[in-house]
Amino acid sequence: MSSTPDESTPDKYPLRSVGRALDVLEALGAGDSKGMGVGEIAAAIGVSRSTAFTLLQTMVARGFVADTRVGNGRLYRLGLALVHLGDRAVAEMGITQIATPILQQLTDATKLTSRLAVLDDGHAVAIGRVDAPGPFRMMSSLGRRELPHCSSVGKALLARLPQDEVKAILKRLGMPRRTEHTLTTPAALIEELKVIAERGYSLDNEEDNIGVLCVGAAIYDRNSAAVAAISVTTMKRADEDVHRLGAIVRAHADRISLLLGGPAHAALPSPR
Amino acid sequence: MSSTPDESTPDKYPLRSVGRALDVLEALGAGDSKGMGVGEIAAAIGVSRSTAFTLLQTMVARGFVADTRVGNGRLYRLGLALVHLGDRAVAEMGITQIATPILQQLTDATKLTSRLAVLDDGHAVAIGRVDAPGPFRMMSSLGRRELPHCSSVGKALLARLPQDEVKAILKRLGMPRRTEHTLTTPAALIEELKVIAERGYSLDNEEDNIGVLCVGAAIYDRNSAAVAAISVTTMKRADEDVHRLGAIVRAHADRISLLLGGPAHAALPSPR
DNA sequence: AACTATGTTCTGCATAACAGAACGCAAGAA
DNA sequence: TTCTTGCGTTCTGTTATGCAGAACATAGTT
């Protein structure tokens, strides 16, 4: 399965029309505008207009895509059926319900946007969020796959994985440079992961966006596996502040771990 | 288009495999358990195991479905790609960003769970939510289609629609009795909609669930169209409390309307 | 060790899904 | 007005695609 030799056709999935339907959804999700026309979608996913139309019709009938007449044309956008499924997908990961109240407390204590994330196929994916109060608000989207090497939650989770798994993930996803502070070699990152595993919190210090600092900490279940991580996002600030934040984030992560029946970071069985 | 006479084959969509793929997602979303097996899914949507398997494989490859090995078998559940799409679907309705802070204020002021909803194909659909503080929490899911005749947000929105449109929706969706307090005739509901349009807030007074009371109010855009509604959910309580709540909810809805460039309820141009 | 209940692969046929062309419609230009 | 352009939508023939059922594999059970 994992040793499939031919990777020449990575976009060929068993069911072509289903794959294309998913392409449509992703195209609509990636669309920066507030809706796309049939032709636009057809071009985006590389099919004829009639094919795109049939796909859209099917999904409109089911509420996965919504359409609006506008003048002559028609604009398609993501339907509300997806809201339900997304909500359920998050709910099915039991962590969310338990973590959200603590996340709220973390945001109350720090006045910062806090997030809950898991590792999905090596990527860091946010599945919960509590926005900071006030008008200044970081744009943070749920469910988007983020590269783990330049994200605080990603690093917090990688720090608890066996070293060869980390290497495999980094090799598969790559470590593209996002800013001048991004760690771009496995060796450098693995070195930092050791510090993180020891200290109990991770940093993204302008490694993904200049001026943006994130502080993360892992959450452990009853098997002491790091099943999720939380983080807060803020502007770059002084080191002493950062360490104070780290302690706060770690403390809140610990409280979630305890609710899950897992150990706090200080009580972890295996040092790595 | 809207007068399609033949409704004999409501389950026949142009693309069979795509329809079935959506069936799979809905089955997984409706699944009460924490995952389903291939056979279980096949039975749920009425296809052979091999067909279900192929469908699942396609969607797993794209992250729309997640799978976990468990002993011999394998459990499938909704994938995190849906979280992103659901989040985007909500974000594309610009109201959410504007309304959420006010929703938070409403919850702070009332200590109750508050929700933001729109009308989708006649149904009331929640697209935003702020949970009440404390351990007592109403179970409220996002994106699920709810019947408008027994929901406070549904009624708040229907109250601003032309009467024939209301009748059409009620006829199409029906008005099933949910509790002994449910209004089950169009005439009775339309009578109450007049009161709601006048008063500026709507009630669901144990009409959907015994013991549960919701108070809703509509939000108006710059064209004075009711584009959304908000509500709070609470336990049944005394009438004077209810009216006090109504005023609070209406005031918060008005503040959202003003942010959208629309009129407050008291400043509405056409009385109905 | 046989048995059962899973998930997975294989195979051949019917039909469903595709592309391209034709059509309808509305808005803007001449 | 009339022509033109750009949409969305419908039609139609051909192809290969997706389907069911059976065969295979694997792990837990008696």
Amino acid at B216: G
Mutation target to probe the A interface, by most A beta carbons within 10 A, among B4, B16, B22, B83 is B83
Distance, in Å, from the CA atom of B100 to the CA atom of B107, rounded to the nearest integer, reads 10
Mutation target to probe the A interface, by most A beta carbons within 10 A, among B69, B77, B80, B130 is B80
For A168-222, the pLDDT digits (tens) are 999 999 999 999 999 999 999 999 999 999 999 999 999 999 989 999 999 999 8
Domains by residue range for chain B, with CATH = 16-81 (1.10.10.10), 93-267 (3.30.450.40)
Cβ–Cβ gap B143/A55 under 8 Å: no
- What tokens were used for A265? 């970071």
Question: What's the confidence (pLDDT) of residue B139?
Answer: 62
For A83-124, the pLDDT digits (tens) are 999 988 988 887 887 898 899 899 989 999 999 999 998 999
Specify the 3-state DSSP secondary structure of B226.
strand
- The DSSP output letter for A132 is P
The answer to whether strand C lies under 7 Å from the CB of residue B16 is: yes
Which chain A residues have a beta carbon less than 8 Å from that of B58? 13-15, 18-19, 22
Distance, in Å, from the CA atom of A243 to the CA atom of B68, rounded to the nearest integer, reads 37
Find all residues with CB under 8 Å of B226, minimum gap 6, and list them: B156, B157, B159, B160, B161, B218, B219, B220
Higher-scoring residue by pLDDT: A272, B167: B167
Amino acid at B244: R
Least confident of A196-200, B142-146, B203-207: B142-146
The answer to whether strand C lies under 7 Å from the CB of residue B70 is: no
- Chain B 199-218 contacts with nucleic strand D (CB below 7 A): none
Of all residues in chain A, the percent with pLDDT exceeding 70 is 91
Question: What's the confidence (pLDDT) of residue A32?
Answer: 72
* CA→C1' distance for A93 and C22 (Å): 51
* CA→C1' distance for A42 and C24 (Å): 20
- What tokens were used for A181? 């502070």
Question: What's the confidence (pLDDT) of residue A33?
Answer: 62
Looking at chain B, how many residues does it have? 272
Question: What's the confidence (pLDDT) of residue A248?
Answer: 97
- What tokens were used for B84? 């992103």
For A13-55, the pLDDT digits (tens) are 678 999 999 999 999 998 776 789 999 999 999 999 999 999 9
Distance, in Å, from the CA atom of B251 to the CA atom of B161, rounded to the nearest integer, reads 21
Asked whether B182 and B208 are in contact (CB, 8 A), the reply is yes
For B64-110, the pLDDT digits (tens) are 999 988 777 888 999 999 999 998 898 888 788 789 889 989 998 99
The answer to whether strand D lies under 7 Å from the CB of residue A77 is: no
Helices (H), A121-216: 152-158, 163-173, 186-199
DSSP string of B130-186, one letter each residue:
EPPSSS------SS-EE-GGGSHHHHHHHTTS-HHHHHHHHHHH-----STT---SH
Tell whether the model's pLDDT for residue B13 goes beyond 80: no
For B147-193, the pLDDT digits (tens) are 999 999 999 999 999 999 999 999 999 999 999 999 999 999 999 99
Question: What's the confidence (pLDDT) of residue B10?
Answer: 39
Tell whether the torsion through CA atoms of A48, A54, A57 and A59 is positive or negative.
Answer: negative
